[in-house]
Structure 1
Amino acid sequence: MVNFNGELLPTTETFLDHQNRGLRYGDSLFESMRAVSGKLFFWEDHYLRLMASMRMLRMEIPMDFTMEFLEENILGVILANDLDQSAARIRLTVFRSDGGLYLPETNVISYIIEAKALQNPFYVLEDNRYEVELFKDFYVNPDMLSTLKTNNKIINVVGSIFAQENDYDNCLLINTNKQVVEALNGNLFLVKGNTVKTAPLKDGCLNGIIRKKLMEIINKLEGYELEENSISPFELQKADELFITNSIIGIRPITKYRKKEFGNVTAKNLLGKLNAVARLG
């Protein structure tokens, strides 16, 4: 079952057509989040990011589009799919309603809520082989639009195909200034000694929820120094650890980049603290 504009519908039912602006122009935003036993991880952060993104794209926010209203609708989808006692992956998609060419006829929005089962209730650390490479066919623009979670993800799609064709598990994206921005499916963190570094938003990286949470955690920890600064490709092979973060996997250590292999001590330490924060809400 999916929720389309407040109505629960079977997944087999057709409710979108060729006029959909998300399909036509990528005029759409989405939030992916984790839920466990009906509890949404970091829901307030996801909601606030969505509202800020909608305002930036000049979408009309309905009066009833409150945090409580959307949470109730999300929980309804979880219950309708019998996932209220297990872990679930939630996708909330918001798109401008049909009409117009590049210039929309309306800024009124529609929304879809989906839920799929996840295997693990909390974030777990995978320590099997995970090799990455730079994706240099196309570049990320270092601007605020690149920080939004929009449906304009063609570079991520082409990069994923490149990774599969070349037997990589993921790729790292670079911007037009040749700075390393993020992975195909999440933010990138680099560990060197006691310094944990991640790219700044001005470089065009996604304004990730887990990125934000880990930065808050690291800032409170003794023995670690957080650095939010541009990452050069030359730094990657000098790092002690590289790891990827997103709202579904939590933290994913990278084990190899070119000839360099990496550990995961810091990633393991941070994962436990991330799970603790997630439990608290």
Structure 2
Amino acid sequence: MINFNGNITSETNIISFNNRGFNYGDAIFETIKCSHGKLLFFEDHYFRLMASMRIMRMEIPMNFTMEFLEEQILDTLKANDLSNVSARVKFIVNRVAGGLYLPKHNEVDYVISAAKLDADFYLIHSEKYEVDLFKDYYVSPSLLSTLKTNNKALHVVGSIYANENKLDNCLLLNTNKSVVEGLNGNLFLVKGKTIKTPPLTDGCLKGIMRKQIIEIIALMPELTLEEVSISPFELQKADELFITNVITGIQSITKYRKKAFNNTIAEDLVKKLNVKIRLSN
């Protein structure tokens, strides 16, 4: 069951051929982890969605309050019998049909879908996880690259490349040849007591989990966080590399080319992340 503009339906053909998300990638989305009816980090998701709609010059409906959208998501979970388990929710907003590149309207439709997840809390991932650079195409270091839009051709092709080369993920470069992010999340590099993550000005996703990890590190006086550009040459000198997103939490990278990494800091951050969630209940 999906939620289309507030209507719970089992129909799968509600997206018309003229849908602007389908035709032009004129859509944005949020992927939200829900645990037993609680929407994790929902305030951050909501404000990112509103900011993204403004940047895309979409008209924000008057009823798009945080309370209204939360209610719509909870209704969708209930319709799918997912209120008492952990679930992945995708909330898509697209501009209504009409026009070519230039839209005729700025009003929006929305679609909410949900699927069950196995884990209630975030787990420590220590299994083999090998990555390499994807250098066929590059991320533009611009504001649009920081949004979660339907324009993900680079990530699709990169994922195919990773699969063909028996990699678990790839790291993306921007046009300045700085390492920006993973295919499915933000990148953090640990060297000693310093943790680096690319700045938004490099074109990385304005990730919700990225924000949570930055806030947690800020409360750890033994660590120093730097939002700075990362050179490919720094990767093999790092002690740890990990990728973050709201579904997995923290995914430690175990190997980049010939370099193997530990996950000591990542393990500590996962524990603190779960504590942060429990305290926010």
TM-score range, shorter chain: over 0.9
Aligned: 1:160 with 2:159: yes
1:115 corresponds to which residue?
Answer: 114
Task: Return 212-221 or 234-243, whichever deviates more.
Answer: 212-221
1:157-183 Cα offsets, whole Å, 9 max, x none, are 000000000000000000000000000
Aligned: 1:2 with 2:2: yes
1:98-148 Cα offsets, whole Å, 9 max, x none, are 000000010000000011000000111121110000000000000100000
Matches within 5 A, 1:215-234: 215-234=214-233
Matches within 5 A, 1:85-96: 85-96=84-95
Q: Distance in 2 between matches of 1:47 and 1:234?
A: 37
Shift of 1:273: 0.8
The TM-score normalised by the length of structure 1 is 0.99
2:212 corresponds to which residue?
Answer: 213
Matches within 5 A, 1:62-211: 62-211=61-210
Q: Distance in 1 between matches of 2:126 and 2:267?
A: 10
Aligned: 1:28 with 2:27: yes
1:78-113 Cα offsets, whole Å, 9 max, x none, are 111111110000100000000000000100000000
Q: Distance in 2 between matches of 1:248 and 1:193?
A: 27
Task: Return 186-195 or 217-226, whichever deviates more.
Answer: 217-226
1:45 corresponds to which residue?
Answer: 44
Q: Share of identical aligned residues, percent?
A: 60
Q: Distance in 2 between matches of 1:229 and 1:157?
A: 26
Shift of 1:14: 1.2
- Letter of the aligned partner of 1:4 in structure 2? F
Q: Distance in 1 between matches of 2:278 and 2:196?
A: 25
> Secondary structure at 1:15's aligned position in 2?
coil
> Secondary structure at 1:78's aligned position in 2?
helix
The TM-score normalised by the length of structure 2 is 0.99
Q: Distance in 1 between matches of 2:98 and 2:271?
A: 47
1:265 corresponds to which residue?
Answer: 264
Q: Gaps (5+ residues) in structure 2?
A: none
Q: Distance in 2 between matches of 1:206 and 1:266?
A: 22
> Secondary structure at 2:210's aligned position in 1?
helix
2:16 corresponds to which residue?
Answer: 17
Shift of 1:278: 2.0
- Letter of the aligned partner of 1:108 in structure 2? E
1:238 corresponds to which residue?
Answer: 237
Q: Distance in 1 between matches of 2:129 and 2:215?
A: 26
- Letter of the aligned partner of 1:165 in structure 2? E
- Letter of the aligned partner of 2:99 in structure 1? G
1:27-69 Cα offsets, whole Å, 9 max, x none, are 0000001001100000000000000000011000000000000
> Secondary structure at 2:45's aligned position in 1?
helix
Q: Distance in 1 between matches of 2:147 and 2:265?
A: 28
